[in-house]
Structure 1
Amino acid sequence: MRLKAGIFVAALTRRVFSDGGMAAVERHGSDEAGAIFVRIRHRDGTESLAAPAPQTAFDEDHPETRLFELRKTRVQEAEVNEMLAREARFDPDFWVVEIETDSPETYLSFIEE
C-alpha cells in the first residue's frame, strides 16, 4: 500500500529542509490520492518538472513506491507554468511541491529511461 499523498508531501518537504534546502507546497491536492508534481528549481535559474510516472512503469513487487518521470528538464519557468495550467484543466486535484536542488534523485525515485 502506498503512502497517502499528504504524508508523502510532508515527508518530502521535511527531508529537503533537514538537508538545509528549500521546499514549499505550491498547490495542495487531495490528501488521500492526489497526483504529485514536483517543481525543481536549479541554481542556474532553470526549472525541471517531475510528474507521476505512467502506471506501466510501476514495479509489481513494490507497488508502494512513488515513481516520477521528468516531463521538463532545465527549461524556463513559463514552460513549467504552462504544463501545470494544462494539468489543472484536466485534473484540478493535484499537488505541486517546489524544491530547490541540483540532485532531485536524492529525494525522488525516477523511472529508468
Structure 2
Amino acid sequence: MRVTTDLWAAALLRRVFNSGGFAAVLQRGAGEAGAAFILVRDRFGEVRLLGPAPQTSYDSARPDERLFVRVGNGETAEQLDARIEREKRFDPDIWVVEIEAGSLPVEELVSIRE
C-alpha cells in the first residue's frame, strides 16, 4: 500500500529539515494521491525540477516507492516556474515541494531515475 501524498510530503519536509536544509510546500494538491513535483534549489542558485517517473520506471520488487525523473533539462528558473504553472493547469491536484538540501544530497532524500 502506497502512503498518501500528504504523509509523504510531510516526511520529506522533516527529512530535509533534519539534514539542515530548507523545505516548503508551494502547492498543496490532493492529499490522498496527488502527483508530486520537487523544485530543488541549491546554494549556488542552480534550480532543477523533479517530476513523477513514468510507470514503466517502477521496479516490481518495490512498486510502492515514489520515483522521480528530472524534468526540463537546462531550463532557467523562470522556465521551470512556467512549466509548473502548465502542470497546475493540466492537473490542479499536484503537489509542489521546494527544497534546498542540507547535509544530505537530494538523491538520498528521494529516489531519482535517470
User: Shorter-chain TM-score category?
Assistant: over 0.9
Percent identity (aligned): 45
2:112 to 96, 110, 113: 110
1:43 Cα offset (Å): 1.5
Moved over 4 A (4+): none
Does residue 16 of structure 2 align to residue 16 of structure 1? yes
Provide the rounded CA distance (Å) in 2 between the counterparts of 1:87 and 1:106: 25
* Aligned CA distance change for structure 1 residues 73 and 40 (closer, same or farther; 3 Å): farther
- Gapped runs of 5+ residues in structure 1? none
- Verify the 8 A CA contact 2:20 2:101 in the aligned structure 1: no
- Name 2:32's counterpart in structure 1: 32
Q: TM-score of the superposition, structure 1-length normalised? A: 0.93
Q: Deviations over 1:16-74 (max 9, x none)?
A: 00111100000001110000000000122121000000011111121110000011356
1: distance between equivalents of 2:81 and 2:53? 19
Task: Please give the root-mean-square deviation of Cα atoms over the aligned residues, in Å.
Answer: 1.4
How far 1:75 moved relative to its partner? 4.0
Q: Distance in 1 between matches of 2:99 and 2:72?
A: 15
Count of aligned positions = 112
Residue matched to 2:57 = 57
Residue 48 of structure 1 aligns to a residue in which SS? strand
In the other structure, the counterpart of 2:68 is 68
The two structures have a TM-score, normalised by structure 2, of 0.92
CA distance in 1, matches of 2:74, 2:45: 9
Unpaired runs of 5+ residues, structure 2, are none
Are residues 107 and 74 of structure 1, via their aligned partners in 2, closer, same or farther at CA, if it must alter by over 3 Å? farther
- The more displaced of 77-86 and 5-14 is 77-86
Point out the more displaced range, 27-36 or 82-91.
82-91
Taking the aligned partners of 2:12 and 2:72, their CA distance within structure 1 comes to 20
